Chain A
Amino acid sequence: MTKILVLAEHDNNSLSGATLSVTKAAEMLGDEIDLICTTSNISNLEAEISTLTSVKKVHVFEDKIFENEIAENTVDCLIAVSDDYDYFLASSSTSGKNIMPRFAGLMDIQQISEVIEVVDGSTFKKPIYAGACIATVKTEQSRNVLTIRTTSFDKTSTDGGSAEFVKHDLPANNTNKPTFVKNELTVSDRPELTSADIVVSGGRGMQNSDNFKLLEGIATKLNAAIGASRAAVDSGFAPNDYQVGQTGKSVAPNLYVAVGISGAIQHLAGMKDSKTIVAINKDEEAPIFKVADYGLVADLFEALPELESKL
């Protein structure tokens, strides 16, 4: 029987939507799906995890060392419960990318990253070259580690399940690891970028961080998340976690509005699967218009206030 272990991603308060998409991908591999959850407080997460209909068992490692994510700590726990499983899945978030290859290395498994389609149990599709090509790859390994691009999968049913929660002691180990110093997390009342229905992104064309705020009124009216190009982040208009693209986040909202963004392939890599794309750019030759369903050739400093007032 094929057994699949999914890494539960969360912030110790609530489960990440990514885990729902990864569980959906797991369902395409088999129906023995278990979760592993390393957390400082399982009681915060238990109710939410219990809603996942397809999950059979949850391996719980609860300790204050999981207040902040140190890949080494999570991987020690993954190894401890790894014996029975054929597949190990996490999302291709920064967390999944940090943890899973480390685990795969210790298991002597070649990982397959950024899976966008499960063709069958050993065949997967994944983007390569910043999404310029899609590769179909086949694994000859009997056990596999996959990271899942969550925008390519629906969310699993959360109508209620009957998962059994199994608590484990922390595994003994002598792993060398870094220590946590601090974090600066972006707080925002807006929807989360990777799961928002609408994303409004600004690029270098916004010119400075004050102008970047022109996007806020529109985002508020549309209940949208705000994103940015690399150039906008590098120039300090927006924080790093706003970056959409090859090295930032992958998004696929119903509506993506690109303002003052030229449409470099590395940016397109993160947003071209959006359902409807709008581009506002004063350069009618800008490559972003090639992927835009609706292109408005205009000066953004005129178009944005008008757009805000007409929404």
Chain B
Amino acid sequence: MKILIPIKRVNDYNVKVRPNQANTDVDLSNVKMAVNPFCEIALEEAIRLKEGGNATEIIAVSVGDEKNQEQLRTALALGADRAILVKTDKALQPLDVSKVLVKVYEKESPNLVIMGKVGIDGDHNQTGQMFSALTNLPQITFASKVELNGNDVEVTREIDGGLETLSSSLPAVITTDLRLNEPRYASLPNIMKAKRKPLEELTVEELGVEVKPTVTTLKVESPPEREEGVKVENVDVLVEKLKNEAKVI
């Protein structure tokens, strides 16, 4: 069984990203970049399926510029068998990415595609659902548990009301939530080994996808700052302030 893992390059989640001087975009010039945390979780799940004897090959794919190689090497170090970089220098939107991923899907015919539920950069939460729609594969989003039984997969999802379990035949698309697993770290020997694993490069043009941004960013600002409040000495003062000053209780 083959598993395809789309990987997004984003800021390290510990870094607080700020607008640039001109307020036209975010300033990523000195920001440490990483694999989107939800994609790490997707990859970890695939590795566990492979370790459990349920998968034979894990392919990591990323769409973007040359720098995405770094994140694909990380994926290879963690346990992907090979990687595909589909190159473009254009700004990408989830709809474009999903169209590119459809082409990769058609080339590779994986049995399972596991993606992050959301990129922590744009907070879109779209690509997996769009990809599933365009491939007509069953869609299971926000997974916190994945169980493979032969050609079926049973997935528990985190929804606003609690948990829901769905079942699907393969191939299918799953998007990951945070509690699905805790990703491992890459070991040094594996980082070295990853340098020799295959990383294929294609272009979006070769795959016949036209990238055309239809939603553009006009302005990026910091949110309004909250005024720093006061420290209260004790519970009595707190209760008094909430009653008489804030008037919220």
Contacts and interface: CB of A to CB of B under 8 A. Distances in A.
Contact of A240 (B139, B154, B163, B236): B163
B191 to A, nearest CB: 27
B215 A138 contact: yes
B95 A110 contact: yes
A183 B166 CA distance: 9
Contacts, number: 261
Given A240-B144, A255-B246, A307-B238, A293 B229 contact: yes
B172 interface: yes
Nearest to B239: A310
Given A110-B94, A178-B140, A178-B168, A138 B161 contact: no
Interface residues of B, number: 79
B154 A176 contact: no
A133 B221 contact: yes
Contacts of A289: 228-229, 231
B94 A111 contact: yes
Interface string B66-97: 00000000000000000000000000011100
Contacts of A265: 16
B138 to A, nearest CB: 5
A75 B217 CA distance: 28
B98 to A, nearest CB: 6
A97 B166 CA distance: 17
Interface residues of A, number: 93
Interface string B170-191: 0010000111000000000000
B235 interface: yes
Contacts of A297: 231
Given A110-B214, A239-B162, A246-B120, A133 B19 contact: yes
A53 B165 CA distance: 37
Interface string A116-130: 000000010011111
A168 B248 CA distance: 46
Interface residues of chain A: helix, strand, loop or mixed (majority): mixed
Nearest to A113: B124
Interface stretch (A25-33, A43-51, A99-107, A201-209): A99-107
Interface in A163-199: 175-186, 194, 198
B223 interface: yes
A295 B249 contact: no
B160 to A, nearest CB: 5
B49 interface: no
A224 B93 CA distance: 39
Contacts of B249: 198, 222, 255, 311
Q: Give the most central of A106, A135, A181, A249: most B CB within 10 Å.
A: A135
B167 A179 contact: yes
A104 B98 CA distance: 12
Interface in B118-136: 118, 120-134, 136
A303 B168 CA distance: 49
B133 A137 contact: no
Given A93-B160, A129-B121, 7 more contacts: A105-B130, A113-B126, A134-B223, A176-B136, A182-B164, A234-B178, A249-B160
Contacts of A95: 159-160
A296 B234 contact: yes
B232 interface: yes
B32 interface: no
A233 B179 CA distance: 9
A234 B179 contact: yes
Given A130-B120, A133-B19, A239-B162, A296 B238 contact: yes
A181 B162 contact: no
A135 to B, nearest CB: 5
B245 to A, nearest CB: 9
B162 A102 contact: no
B231 to A, nearest CB: 5
B36 interface: no
A94 B142 contact: yes
Contact of B139 (A94, A177, A306): A177
Interface stretch (A56-64, A81-89, A153-161, A272-280): A272-280
A162 interface: no
A219 to B, nearest CB: 12
Nearest to B216: A138
B159 A101 contact: no
B14 to A, nearest CB: 9
Nearest to B249: A222
B137 interface: yes
